[in-house]
């Protein structure tokens, strides 16, 4: 670094936020502003917060690790899952952090197509905390396995989810989706209709595929139309 004095003037948004932070201001500045950014909603949307993150990092107020975590968080909120996953992956390779929840990381990996990584984290979680595996856990694991074309394992996982909560509509839909993928169209329709009754409207898409697989084209088109109408 040159001998010139570094410009540490803080963005206006951060300066205006200081008045209500109380005793947190006794923390080192990098931690203080990072926590403020991570857990506060004082800026209106992810795009604004992302801009602030970049400025804090550029000024040296936020270190590389916290920058990548905070950046990933805002990218995730903005549904930019591939970028969020990349940012968090780099941060977590630097060192572990409790500021990245394992379920957000799994979902970012899943939605960005990194299915093997999502499964790795899920299975590590299962190994370390088997009693914490709830219906949500087994359902997302089934979704990951389905994308990896590991259908028998996917069915086993979704059945575990339904054993915990037989009315869990996301698992009802997932089971129908998996059965559709393996060509068990008649059985799939049963589960997908249950999911639709539970107002899981994404099931219409898979119901149309199952009906079409049985040669029931007119009904498949009706299912597609009902699915589109459900999201209007």
pLDDT, tens digit, 9 for 90 and up, residues 133-170: 999 999 999 999 999 999 999 999 999 999 999 999 99
Within 13 Å, how many C-alpha atoms sit on residue 218's CB side?
Answer: 0
Most confident of 9-13, 37-41, 46-50, 207-211: 207-211
Higher pLDDT, 72 or 189: 189
Q: Which domain holds residue 82?
A: 1-100
| Residues making up the chain, counted from first to last | 232
| CA gap 109, 86 in Å, rounded | 9
Any domain includes 161:
no
Any domain includes 87:
yes
Most confident of 36-45, 104-113, 152-161, 221-230: 152-161
Any domain includes 16:
yes
Three-class secondary structure of residue 14 per DSSP: helix
**Stated pTM of the model:** 0.71
Any domain includes 7:
yes
Any domain includes 31:
yes
Higher pLDDT, 126 or 95: 126
Single out the residue of 31, 40, 37, 36 nearest to residue 51, CA to CA.
Answer: 37
Q: What is the pLDDT of residue 54?
A: 80
Region 68-96: mean pLDDT is: 80
Any domain includes 217:
no
| CA gap 170, 168 in Å, rounded | 6
Any domain includes 177:
no
Region 3-10: mean pLDDT is: 40
| CA gap 20, 67 in Å, rounded | 23
Split into its structural domains, the chain has a count of: 1
Region 96-110: mean pLDDT is: 76
Any domain includes 162:
no
């Amino acid at each position: 670094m040159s001998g010139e004095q570094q410009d540490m003037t803080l963005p206006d948004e951060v300066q205006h936020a200081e008045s209500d932070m109380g005793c947190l201001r006794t923390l080192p500045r990098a931690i203080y502003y990072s926590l403020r950014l991570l857990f506060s909603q004082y800026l209106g949307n992810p795009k604004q917060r992302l801009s602030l993150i970049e400025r804090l990092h550029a000024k040296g107020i936020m270190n590389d690790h916290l920058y990548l975590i905070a950046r990933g968080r805002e990218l995730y909120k903005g549904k930019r899952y591939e970028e969020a996953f990349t940012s968090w992956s780099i941060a977590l390779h630097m060192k572990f952090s409790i500021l990245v929840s394992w379920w957000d990381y799994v979902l970012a990996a899943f939605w960005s197509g990194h299915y093997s990584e999502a499964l790795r984290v899920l299975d590590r979680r299962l190994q370390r905390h088997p009693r914490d595996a709830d219906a949500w856990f087994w359902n997302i694991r089934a979704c990951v396995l389905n994308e990896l074309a590991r259908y028998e394992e996917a069915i086993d996982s979704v059945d575990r989810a339904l054993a915990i909560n037989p009315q869990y509509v996301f698992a009802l839909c997932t089971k129908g989706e998996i059965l559709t993928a393996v060509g068990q169209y008649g059985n799939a329709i049963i589960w997908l209709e249950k999911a639709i009754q539970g107002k899981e409207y994404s099931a219409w898409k898979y119901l149309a595929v199952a009906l079409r697989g049985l040669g029931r084209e007119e009904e498949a088109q009706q299912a597609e139309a009902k699915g589109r109408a459900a999201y209007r």
